Amino acid sequence: MRIQERTGAGNNRPATSAHPVMGERLPMPPRERKPALAALAVLLILVGALGATMLVLRAGDRVEVVKVTSDIQAGDSVGDHTTSVLVAADPSIHYVKSSQIEELKKLKARSPIYKGTIVIGEMFAEGATVPAGKASVGVSLKEGQYPAGIKSGDTVAVYRVGDSGSSGSHGSSSSSSSNSSSSSAGSAPLVERAKVSYVQDQTDSTISSTNLPVTLMVDSGQAASVTDAASAGQIALVIVPGN
C-alpha cells in the first residue's frame, strides 16, 4: 500500500497544510466599546456650546459711551473731540452714553480731561469751576504780544513789557535810573507758568483788526499783577516747556 493512501485515509481528514494559505485574514477579536469616552465627547461639546452662549449674553451687557479724543481743559466743552466706544455695563459708574452727547456739549469740564479718557458725569458741570487757590484772568493781546499758534492748554510765562516809568521832564540821570529799573523789572516774568484755558479762534477774520482775547489760569496771588499789566496793555505771553 502506498504511503499517500495510508496518510489520506486516516480519520477521513484531507491532507492539508497546518499553515494558513497566503491571502487569508486571521480572525480579529471583537472591537471593545468605550461608552465613557463617548460620554466625555458629548460633555465637551455641551460645555463649548454653553461657553459660546455665555459670551453672546455677556456681549449684550455692554453700553456705548463717550470717550474724548483730545485734551479738554478746565472750563472747556468737549466740542467735537469725542468718539463712541463699547464698555461693560456697570450701574455704579455714571457713564455718559453716546446718545447724551448733545447735552454733554452744553457742560464745562471741572478739571483737565486727557485724551483717551472715558467720560463720566462727575467730570462736567453747568458752569466752569476754578480750582482752589487759582484765579481765571482774561487778557486782551495785540499782535506781537502772543506767539503764533497759541492754543488752549498751552503753558506760558507772563511778562510785563514796555516803559513803565520815564518821563521827558525828568533829568537825564533820573530818566536813566527809571529806564534801568524798568528794564530790570521786565527781565523777570510776572508769572513763570500759567495755563491758557481759552483762546479765541485765530482763524476769525476780526482778529486781524482787534486784540486777541486769552484767558489764563494763574495762582490767586498773581492775579492782581497780571490784571494791572493787562489793563495797561503791557503784557506779553511766551510759551515755555511743559506743553
Average pLDDT, the chain: 76
Q: Which residue range is the domain that position 201 belongs to?
A: 134-239
d(C-alpha 167, C-alpha 184), whole Å:
17
Domain count, the chain: 2
pLDDT higher than threshold 60 for residue 219:
yes
* Domain co-membership, 175 together with 139: yes
* Domain co-membership, 69 together with 103: yes
Strand partners, 68: 82
Whether residue 112 lies inside any domain: the answer is yes
Cβ–Cβ contacts within 10 Å for residue 104, how many? 18
* Domain co-membership, 167 together with 228: yes
pLDDT of 181 reads 39
Whether residue 12 lies inside any domain: the answer is no
Cell numbers representing residue 88 in the block:
461693560
pLDDT-based confidence at residue 38 (cuts at 50, 70, 90): confident
Whether residue 138 lies inside any domain: the answer is yes
* Domain co-membership, 70 together with 121: yes
Final residue of a domain: which of 94, 125, 156? 125
Whether residue 15 lies inside any domain: the answer is no
* Domain co-membership, 117 together with 211: no
How confident is the model over 163-212, as pLDDT tens digits?
Answer: 544 334 344 333 433 443 344 444 789 999 998 888 887 665 544 557 88
Q: What's the mean pLDDT in 206-227?
A: 82
How confident is the model over 88-123, as pLDDT tens digits?
Answer: 888 888 999 999 999 998 888 877 788 899 999 888
* Domain co-membership, 91 together with 168: no
All residues at 6 or more sequence positions from 238 whose CB lies less than 8 Å from its CB, including other chains: 147, 156, 157, 159, 189
Final residue of a domain: which of 80, 104, 125? 125
* Domain co-membership, 234 together with 171: yes
pLDDT of 176 reads 39
pLDDT of 75 reads 76
Query: Strand order in 191-199's β-sheet?
Result: 134-141, 212-219, 191-199, 155-160, 235-239
Strand partners, 97: 65
Whether residue 49 lies inside any domain: the answer is no
Cell numbers representing residue 148 in the block:
503764533
d(C-alpha 96, C-alpha 171), whole Å:
68
* Domain co-membership, 148 together with 109: no
* Domain co-membership, 138 together with 195: yes
Final residue of a domain: which of 125, 147, 166? 125
| pTM value > 0.95 | no
